[in-house]
Structure 1
Amino acid sequence: MARHRWADVLRTTHPTTRHAGPMTAPTPVTTRQVPPRQLAWLRTEVADWTSQGLISPDQAERISTRYSADTHTRFSIGRVLLYLGGGFVGIGLIWLVAANLDQLSPVSRFVAVTLIWLAFLVGSEVLASRQASAALVGAARLLAALGIGAVLFQAAQSLQVPAFEPRLLGLWSAAALLHGYASRAYLPFLVGVVSGVAWWFTQPMWDEPSGLTVVMLFGAGSVLAAGLAVLHDGRIDPFAWTWRTVAAGMALLAMFAAAIPDIGGDGVVWSSWLVVALVAAGAVAAAAVATRPGTRALEPLGAVVVLVVATLIGLWTTGTDTSDIDTSDWLHAAVSVAAYVLLAVALVALGTVREHPPLIWMAMAGLVVFTTFQSFAVFAPIVTGAWLFVVLGTVFLGTGFLFDRARRELAEALDSDTSTSGSNEGQDR
C-alpha cells in the first residue's frame, strides 16, 4: 500500500511537464518527513525509475529532496528509558499517595502533589515551546498525565473518598484526555484512553455485576471507539489509530465473551451507568455517520451490528454440563464460531483498507484463542485426545489459508482500483 501512496504523489506532484506558455518561477517545495524505511525504499525506487527512463535525473532529484527522514520514528534506547522513567515516577507518585504519606498532613500532601503535577505540566509545555527533544517532551507530558491522577487520588483521600471508587478513574481519564487534546500530545491521550477503558467497565459493574453486562459494555465500547476513530480521521490521525485499535479489541472481546456458555443466564441487569454508556456510544456513532458519510460510516455501523449480535448470542442460554452436549449446544457453538470468523475477516479487510496492521494481527490472534477455547470448552468432551489437536490444527490451517487468500485478493483489488483511478486522472489531464 505504501507503493500506491508514492505513486499517487508522483502523479499529482511530478507529472510530465508540458509548458503551454512562458515558464514561471518554481514554487518552493516544503520538505515532508517520512519514516526512514519508507525514505530508503523511495530512494531505491527512484533510482530504478531513473535507470529505466521513466523519470529524468532532474525529476529524481526533485522527488528525493521533497522528503527527509523523520528521526523521531527511529527506535531509541534513550526514548524508551525516558518513557519508562516517566511511567515509573508517575506510578510512584500515585503509590505514595496510596501509602498516605503519614509524615504530612492531608493539606500538605495535596499541595505537594499538586505542585509536582504543575511543575511537570508547565515544564513539558516549556520544553515543547523551546523545541526540545521529542522524547524528553513526551516523558514530561507523561509525568503530567500520571501526576494528575496522583492529585485526584490525594484529593479523594482528603475528602475521605475510597481510593477504589470508579469515579476517580473517570475523572483521571477526563483530565488526561483534556491534556492530550489541548496539547495534541499522544502520551497524555493514551493515559486517558487506558484509564477511561478501565472506568468504562468498573463503573457500570460497581453495583450490579453481570456477565451479559460485560458483553454489552464491550460492544458499546466498540461502537464508541469506532465512531471516535472515524471522527478523528484526517484530523488527528494518531488518535484515530488508537481509537480504531480499541474498537477492534472491544469487538473481538464482545464476541468472545458472548460465546461463553450461559454467560447471559441472569439476563440484562440494567443500571443508569449502562444506559449512559449505550446512549453515549449511540450518539457518537450517529455523529460519525452524519458528519463522515460514505464508506467510513461502515465502521461504527459494523460495531453496532457486533453489539446486537453479541447481545443476542449472550442471551441464548444453553446447558453448562460439558458431559451432556445436545443439538442446542452444537448450534450455539457453530453460530458463535461463524460470527467470530465473520468479525475477524471484517477486521482483516478493515486493517488492509486502512493500512492498520494491528487489526490484522489482532483478528488472527483472537481467532486462534477463540477457536482453542471453543474446542476445549465445547468440543473436547466429544473429540478427545490427539484427535482434538488434529481437528484444531486442521481448522487453523484452513482458516489461515482463507485469511491469506482473502487478504491477497483484497490487496489486488485495491491495486487495480488505484491503477484505474490513476490512468483515468491521466486521461482527464
Structure 2
Amino acid sequence: MDRVRVSSGRLTWLRREIAVWEAEGVIGREAAEAIAARYEAGRRLALERIALVLGASFVGVGLLWVVAANYERMPPSVRFAGIVAVWLGAVAAGQVVAARSGGSVAAAVRVIAVCAAGGVVFQAAQSLQVPAGSSGLLGAWAGGALAYAYATRERAILVVAAGLTVGWYCWWAAERAASHGTVAMAMLVAAALVTALAVLHERPLPDLAPVWRPVGVLLALVGLFIVAFPDQDFRISGPLWAGAGVAAVLCAAAVLRAPSAWAEIAAVLAVLGAGLVLAVWDPDGSGTIRAVAGIAVYVVAAAWFALLGTSKGLPGVTPLATAALVLFVTTQSFAIFAPLFSGAALFLVLGAVLLGTGVAAHRARRLITEVSR
C-alpha cells in the first residue's frame, strides 16, 4: 500500500481526529491504525519555496524603495497610481497563477501583492497628510495582509501578516511607553494571543494553525530574553492592557473549544506572568539574583516549547528553543560572572558554561524526542 504524504500540520490534525473518532466509538482500534498508517509526513526540501518567497519579498521591498528614492521627482498622483497598478496587477496575477498551477509561484506573487499594498497604504496616508511615523499605518497594512491571507488561505502571506501585526502592536505599545521592557511585555502578550489563535484554528483551519504556533514560541522566547534585562522605565500602558484583555478572551475561548489544550494555554500564560514579574522586580539592586531567576524561568520555558514542538510535530521549533536556551544562558552568565572574573578566567568560565549548556540541551532534546514517540 502506497502511503500518502501530507504536511506535518495536516498529519497532526488527522491523528487527533482519529483519536476522537476512536474514543467516541465511531471506529475501532484496528480501523484507526489502518487509517493512520495510510498517511505520513512529507519531507520535501522547501528550498524552492523559500527561494521564491524570499525573492518575492526582495522584489516587494525593492518596489517600495524605488518609490521612496524617487519621492521628490514623481508627482503624488503618479506615485499613487503607479503603486496601485502594481498592487492590483500582483493580486490579479496571484489569482491566475493559483488557479492554473498554485504552489510556490502563486505564494511568491501574492507576497509581492502584500508588499505593494503597504506602498498603497503609505501613499494614501501621504495624500491625506497623515504622519508617516504613525503606528496606525502599519496597523492598516497588517490588517489588510491578514484579510488577504485568510481569503487566500496562503501560509506565506500569513507569515508576513503575522510579522506586520506583531510589529504594529509592539510599536503601538512603545509609542505610549518608550522602554524595552514594554516592548518585551507586548511580545509576551502577543505570544499568549497567537497561541490561543493556533488552538482555535486547529479544526476549522488546520492549514493555518501551524503558522501561529511557531510565531507564538518565537515571541515568547524573544520577549523573555529581553525582559530578563532590568528596565527602570517599565510601566504597564494602555496597549498592554488592551492586548491582555483580548488575549484573555481568546485563551478562554480556546480552552472552551479544545479542553485538551488547557496545558498549552496555561503554560503560555505562566510565561506571561513570569515575564511581568521579571519586568517589575528589582531585588534591592542585585542583578545577580534577578539574572539567576531569569535563567531558571527561561530554562523551564525553553524546555516546554521544545516538548511542544516535538509533540505537535512543528518543524524547527525544538531546535529554535534549544538554540535560544544556549544563547540566553550564555548571555546571562556573562552578566553574572563578569563582575567576578576578568581576562582569560572569564572566557574559561563562560566557555565551560556554554559547553555544559550545549551538552545538557542536546541530552534533553534527545530525551524529549524519545518520550514523545
1:377 corresponds, among 335, 343, 346, to 335
- Seen in structure 2, the aligned counterparts of structure 1 residues 75 and 226 have a Cα distance that, compared at 3 Å, is closer
Deviates more, 1:82-91 or 1:371-380: 82-91
Deviation at residue 116 of structure 1 after TM alignment: 1.9
2:190 corresponds, among 208, 221, 245, to 221
Do residues 305 (structure 1) and 274 (structure 2) align?
A: no
Instruction: State the alpha-carbon separation in 2 of the partners of residues 382 and 234 from structure 1.
Output: 53
Instruction: Report the count of equivalent residues.
Output: 345
The AA in structure 1 aligned to 2:210 is W
* Residues 89-125 of structure 1: per-residue CA shift (max 9 Å, x gap): 3112222343464454323432332122111112211
* Amino-acid identity (%): 36
Instruction: State the alpha-carbon separation in 1 of the partners of residues 41 and 315 from structure 2.
Output: 22
Deviation at residue 219 of structure 1 after TM alignment: 1.3
Larger gyration radius, structure 1 or structure 2:
1
Q: What TM-score do the two structures reach when normalised by structure 1?
A: 0.72
- Seen in structure 2, the aligned counterparts of structure 1 residues 282 and 385 have a Cα distance that, compared at 3 Å, is same
Name the structure, 1 or 2, with higher relative contact order (CA <8 Å, separation 6+).
2
Task: State whether residues 94 and 150 of structure 1, in contact with CA within 8 Å, keep that contact through their aligned partners in structure 2.
Answer: yes
Instruction: State the alpha-carbon separation in 2 of the partners of residues 93 and 329 from structure 1.
Output: 47
Counterpart in the other structure of 2:98: 128
1:403 corresponds, among 330, 352, 361, to 361
Instruction: State the alpha-carbon separation in 2 of the partners of residues 168 and 388 from structure 1.
Output: 47
Instruction: State the alpha-carbon separation in 2 of the partners of residues 402 and 119 from structure 1.
Output: 52
Counterpart in the other structure of 2:291: 333
Counterpart in the other structure of 2:304: 346
Deviates more, 1:163-172 or 1:175-184: 163-172
Counterpart in the other structure of 2:215: 246
Deviates more, 1:226-235 or 1:79-88: 79-88
Counterpart in the other structure of 1:91: 61
Deviation at residue 234 of structure 1 after TM alignment: 4.4
Where 1:206 maps in the other structure, the secondary structure is helix
Counterpart in the other structure of 1:112: 82
Counterpart in the other structure of 2:30: none
Counterpart in the other structure of 1:25: none
2:129 corresponds, among 160, 165, 173, to 160
More helix by share: 2
Instruction: State the alpha-carbon separation in 2 of the partners of residues 69 and 335 from structure 1.
Output: 39
* Residues 364-403 of structure 1: per-residue CA shift (max 9 Å, x gap): 2212221222122232111333333333333334434443
- Seen in structure 2, the aligned counterparts of structure 1 residues 268 and 115 have a Cα distance that, compared at 3 Å, is same
Deviation at residue 141 of structure 1 after TM alignment: 0.9
Deviation at residue 153 of structure 1 after TM alignment: 0.9
Instruction: State the alpha-carbon separation in 1 of the partners of residues 291 and 61 from structure 2.
Output: 42
5+ residue gaps, structure 2, are 8-33
Instruction: State the alpha-carbon separation in 1 of the partners of residues 213 and 162 from structure 2.
Output: 12
2:173 corresponds, among 192, 204, 223, to 204
Deviates more, 1:206-215 or 1:340-349: 206-215
Counterpart in the other structure of 2:25: none
The AA in structure 2 aligned to 1:302 is A
* Residues 384-428 of structure 1: per-residue CA shift (max 9 Å, x gap): 33333333333334434443444344433344xxxxxxxxxxxxx
- Seen in structure 2, the aligned counterparts of structure 1 residues 303 and 163 have a Cα distance that, compared at 3 Å, is same
Instruction: State the alpha-carbon separation in 2 of the partners of residues 299 and 104 from structure 1.
Output: 52
Where 2:255 maps in the other structure, the secondary structure is helix
Do residues 274 (structure 1) and 240 (structure 2) align?
A: yes
Instruction: State the alpha-carbon separation in 1 of the partners of residues 209 and 347 from structure 2.
Output: 39
Task: State whether residues 210 and 269 of structure 1, in contact with CA within 8 Å, keep that contact through their aligned partners in structure 2.
Answer: no
- Seen in structure 2, the aligned counterparts of structure 1 residues 227 and 398 have a Cα distance that, compared at 3 Å, is same
Counterpart in the other structure of 1:283: 249
Deviation at residue 175 of structure 1 after TM alignment: 0.6
Alignment of structure 1 residues 46-61 onto 2, 5 Å: none
Instruction: State the alpha-carbon separation in 2 of the partners of residues 75 and 185 from structure 1.
Output: 15
The AA in structure 2 aligned to 1:240 is A
Task: State whether residues 33 and 70 of structure 1, in contact with CA within 8 Å, keep that contact through their aligned partners in structure 2.
Answer: yes
Instruction: State the alpha-carbon separation in 2 of the partners of residues 200 and 275 from structure 1.
Output: 12
Deviation at residue 199 of structure 1 after TM alignment: 0.6
* Residues 121-147 of structure 1: per-residue CA shift (max 9 Å, x gap): 1221122122x2523212211111111
Where 2:259 maps in the other structure, the secondary structure is coil
* Residues 199-218 of structure 1: per-residue CA shift (max 9 Å, x gap): 11111111321233123212
2:145 corresponds, among 176, 185, 199, to 176
Deviation at residue 243 of structure 1 after TM alignment: 1.4
* Residues 298-352 of structure 1: per-residue CA shift (max 9 Å, x gap): 22221111111111112111566xxxxxxx4332222111111111111121122
Counterpart in the other structure of 2:31: none
